[in-house]
Every structure is written in structure tokens, then in C-alpha cells.
Chains A and B, each alone.
Chain A
Amino acid sequence: MTALLETRNVSKSFGPLRALEDVSLRFDAGELVAVVGPNGAGKTTLVNLLTGLLKPTSGEVLFMGRSIAGVGPVKLADRGLARSFQLIAVFPRLTVAETIAAAVVSRQKKRWRLLSRLAADTEVERRVAEVADIFGLRRRLDTVAAALSQGEKKLLDVASAFALDPQVILLDEPTSGVSTADKHGIMTTLIAAGKAAGVKGIVLVEHDMDLVAAYSQRIIALAEGRMLADLPPDKFFADPALIAAVVGKPRGR
């Protein structure tokens, strides 16, 4: 079976700095895979390679069997690959409804309609309401993004990515900058939303080992640009040396 998303012997250098070296991994349908590693392990570089933002120095990145080299984020979104950002990425002057609608417009291929009234498009409106419901943003539809709380901004970022109905979604630290109390709430919302939207695979880049332990079905560990492990959670957390390499200390201390 073709993998949803796959890297083959991918290396990436920034000048003399080798951010990733010979990484081969695959993500299959129905999985939630966590990518973990200490700061500087190459996690964000990996996400940027997987979403076509960066080109690998060598090796190949395939999405549903096709290379994504030079495809660019817009076409990837059309093909069904979406992402959220580690640093909060919203449109400060747009409302929640407008932000989600931007993705819905892309999904429904209405982007070159210059003269039709968006406000009168019930098809878009219905989908925006659905997505907002899933993410608990229904009551915030008319609020501009700049006025949302940090947690809500994070949800909006992910919600707009979900509104594309992607096959695969990459979540780059979806709970960073969110209070510990809210983290589990956001994660369960995201996973339920993914199921509801028919997302086939979720790639979760995460620092927080509690979240990784609670939600992932497979863990890929990176350190200093290399693959350290690709294991199911029970095996991963049974190996103290591995955990130490990833977080710098054993879990739970």
C-alpha cells in the first residue's frame, strides 16, 4: 500500500548546518503519529519539508505516492495536505467566520469569483458553521482574530486547516502557548474533529510527552537531525535511555 506521506533518505542542510540527515519514514492511513525530539532536533525542518515549504538537499518527499518537490503549499492544500503552525498564525483583521471561510472558498473552488456575494453563499456559510461548531468557535464567529485568546487563536489556526477537508494534517505543536489545563481539551477536540472530517492521518509534532503518550499510536524520535526511533508508545516509554535522549530527563520526574 502506498503511504499517505513518506520521506526517502531525506537530508537538509542550511549552509554548513545539517538540520536533517538521511531520514526515511512513512505515515499510513488511520494513524496519529507523534514526532518528538529536543530543541534543534530538526522537527520544524521536517514539517517544512513535509509541507513543501523547503526542498530537501537530497532525497525525496512523497505525498500519496507523488513527489511534492517544488509543488508549493497552495497545490498541496488542493491535493489534501494541510498544516497548522507552531507560532500562532491567524489573520489579525479577519473574523473567525472569514478565516474559516477563506479555506472553504479554496475547498469549494470559488476563489476566482470576483463579483458574487460571499455573504449570500449558503454553501460556504453552512460549512463555516459546521467547522466552527466542531471547534467550539460558534459563538466567536464575528470576533476578529486579534481579539481572541491564545487558545482560541490556536484553535482557529487548526480549524481553518481542517476546513480544507485534508487527507493528512500536520499539527506543529498545536498546544504550545496554551495553558496546561487546556491542552487535553484541545487535543481531544482536534482528534474528534479529524475523525468527523474524514482526515486519514494526523502528524503531531509535540514537546509535551504527556500528550504524546496519551494520544499517539506511533512515535518517531529525532535527535540532532537523525532518526533515533520509530516505535509504538509502549515500547518507546519502556526505554529510559530513549526518553532521556528526547527530553533530556526521564518522564514524570
Chain B
Amino acid sequence: MRPPGAALVALAGTAALALVPALAPAYYATLMVPFFAYAIALLGFNLLFGKAGLLSFGHAMFLGLGAYGAAVMAGVLHVHSFEAVLCATMLAAAIVAVPIGFVCVRYTGIFFGMLTLAFGMLFYSFLFKFYYVTGGDSGMRVPRMSILGLDFARYNKIEFLAGPFYYYCLALLVAAGVLMWRIVHSPFGLHLRTVGDNARKAEYLGVHVRRCRLVAFVVSAAFGAAGGAILGFRIGLADPELVYWTQSGQLVFMAVLGGFAHFLGPIIGALAYIVLQDQLQSLTPYWRFVLGAILAVVVIGFPTGLAGLADDLRRRFRRSGA
């Protein structure tokens, strides 16, 4: 992938997304808000998976930390500014991720995956069992907050989500994308990629393999919490379902569907998943079956995902054009 191409796609994508509230019914604009949330979380997830080669099966834990963090901050502590909530939950997730990551990055492959899954399940059962703190299976309410100091009191919830909040989340995604682009293309990003490719050789080139993995884990946790806070705000509820392992699986699904080897792949995957799920749900109660079949076809037929497929097509098109 050549960087200018990715920048062009990102620019065109942002422009297209900016037009959605103007051109499409409000329903679709509100549908896109979870997409922004998952896309931000996946930017972090893919720093671990796509670059360091560590597949986390417990990333929903950080979505949950974001959503429950927002519920506690806004609902219990009455912090009204979403920016403050966002920063606090990201910081909290990063702090929580240090000891968890410290344990997990000692392992790779399936062992890393299982350990992250185990921590995710621990957090899930904590949310369930400590009913008086967390509300158990009914979750915690996330009250509406101000964005950029503005309340938008005139807007009802749908108008708010399809209007100001939509553009707010789009801007957050762009900012998160730029930030992650910088991280991936920094000296640290290069060292992280050597870790993913050949950790033994990397050590002999002076790469702090475990510390690189840990930093990536912590960064990805913060991105996950940002996504989770948006999801909580969107639903108005921090739901324990957000932390269940199937949510972690969904993140993996999106990354693979979009193509984890590409910078924009997971974002494309998140978009495709959200749209597919919405359309399939309206067509058939067996939508999960169809989604599963699609994933199987992608893994077998297009292991580089939608982004890889687009790359192949573009190359083929160029060759036949020349």
C-alpha cells in the first residue's frame, strides 16, 4: 500500500461520510455513530494485531471500560463535558491496561489470545456480580453530556445523534486516524513491526520486544475506551453485553473482513459490518448465519480482506489499462 493512495481514500471517505446526514435519512446517520466508535477502537486493536501480530480476544473489555467509565463520570460524578469524560476514560483504560498487558505480552499467539479473553471474561463477571455498583445485567445509565461545551438542548435525541454528535464523532475518528497514522509511521511503529515479523531478530537489533508490545497494548486500550465511551453515549446505557466475548469476536471479525494488513482495512471492515448487519437484520432473522458465511468466504477467498481485494482490483485494472 502506498501512503498517498491511503490518504486519498481517507479523504474521499471522510467527504462521503460528511454528506451522509445531509443526504440520507436520520436513521442512517444514527447507524453510523456505532461505526465511528468501532472504527476508533479498531485503529487501536489493529496496532496490536496488524503491526505487533498480537490477536486480542478480550478487547471488548476496553469498550466496556469506556462505556462504564462514561456512566460513572456522567451519571454518578455528574461530569457534564464529554471531552473530560473521554480523556478520563482513556486514561483509566490505559492505567488498567498496564498490569494486564504486563502479564499478557509475555505470551504470543494463542496464549496471548486466551489470556486477553480470560481478562475480558473476568471483567464481564465483575460487572455482572457487583450488582449494586454496576447494575448487573441492566447496566448503568449514561446521561446525555455536552460536546464542546454545548448542550444542544433544542435537539431531541435522534436529531442530536444524526446531527451535531454525528459530525463530532466523525471529527474524532479523523483525529484518531491521524494520531494512529503518526504512531504507525514513527520510529516506535517501525520497531513494533519488526516485533510482529521476527521477534528474535528484532531483539538482536536492539528492539525492546516486550516493552514495545506493552506500549502498543496500552495505546490500543485507550483507543478502545474512546470507542466504548461513544457507544455508551449513543445507547444511553453502559450494557454488560458490550463487554461479552462476542463483542471482542466482533472486533476481530471487522478487522479480518476489512483487511488487517492495511491501515484503513479495519475501518472499512467496521463500515461493511455495520451496514451488512443492519441490512441483513431487516431481511432475515438468520442474519448471523449469513454474516458467518460471508466471513468464511472472506477468509478462504480474500485473506487480505476488502482492502486487499480493492488493492488487487486496482492493480489488475491498471495493468489491463496499460
Contacts and interface: CB of A to CB of B under 8 A. Distances in A.
Interface in A51-96: 51, 72-74, 77-78, 82-83, 85, 89-94
A93 B200 CA distance: 15
Contacts of B204: 51, 73, 77, 82-83, 85, 161
Given A116-B186, A118-B187, A89 B207 contact: no
Contact of A94 (B182, B188, B194, B219): B194
Nearest to A112: B188
Interface in B187-207: 187-191, 193-194, 197-198, 200-207
A204 interface: no
A115 B203 CA distance: 22
A226 to B, nearest CB: 28
Nearest to A118: B187
Chain A interface size band reads 35 or more
Main DSSP-derived SS at the B contact region: helix
B47 to A, nearest CB: 11
A203 interface: no
Contacts of A116: 186-187
B198 A89 contact: yes
A189 B93 CA distance: 50
A106 to B, nearest CB: 3
Interface string B261-295: 00000000000000000000000000000000000
Nearest to B191: A111
B201 A111 contact: no
A119 B206 contact: no
A121 B185 CA distance: 11
Contacts of B206: 74, 77-78, 103, 106-107, 111, 164
Interface in B143-186: 179, 182-183, 185-186
B208 interface: yes
Question: Counting chain B CB atoms within 10 Å of each CB, which of A77, A89, A114, A118 scores highest?
Answer: A114
A89 B203 CA distance: 12
Nearest to B193: A94
Contacts of A74: 203, 206-209
A105 interface: yes
A110 interface: yes
Nearest to B188: A114
Interface string A92-136: 111000110111011100111111111101001000000000000
B203 A111 contact: no
Interface string A222-251: 000000000000000000000000000000
A161 B206 CA distance: 10
A52 to B, nearest CB: 10
A180 to B, nearest CB: 26
A163 B206 CA distance: 11
A115 B182 contact: yes
A160 interface: yes
Contacts of B188: 111-114
Given A102-B207, A115-B182, A117-B182, A89 B187 contact: no
Contacts of A94: 193-194, 197
Nearest to A106: B206
A118 B201 contact: no
A106 B204 CA distance: 10
Nearest to B212: A111
A115 B183 contact: yes
24 contacts: A74-B206, A74-B209, A77-B205, A82-B204, A85-B201, A90-B198, A92-B197, A94-B197, A99-B194, A102-B190, A105-B190, A106-B191, A111-B188, A111-B207, A111-B208, A111-B212, A114-B183, A115-B179, A115-B186, A117-B185, A118-B185, A118-B189, A118-B190, A121-B187
Interface of B: 179, 182-183, 185-191, 193-194, 197-198, 200-209, 212, 215, 219
Interface of A: 51, 72-74, 77-78, 82-83, 85, 89-94, 98-99, 101-103, 105-107, 110-119, 121, 124, 157, 160-161, 163-164
Given A92-B198, A94-B197, A115-B186, 20 more contacts: A74-B208, A77-B204, A77-B206, A83-B204, A91-B193, A92-B197, A99-B194, A102-B194, A102-B207, A106-B191, A106-B205, A106-B206, A107-B206, A111-B188, A113-B186, A114-B188, A115-B183, A116-B186, A117-B186, A118-B187
The 8 A-B residue pairs whose C-beta atoms are closest, nearest first, are A106-B206, A91-B197, A77-B206, A73-B203, A89-B201, A105-B187, A103-B205, A110-B187
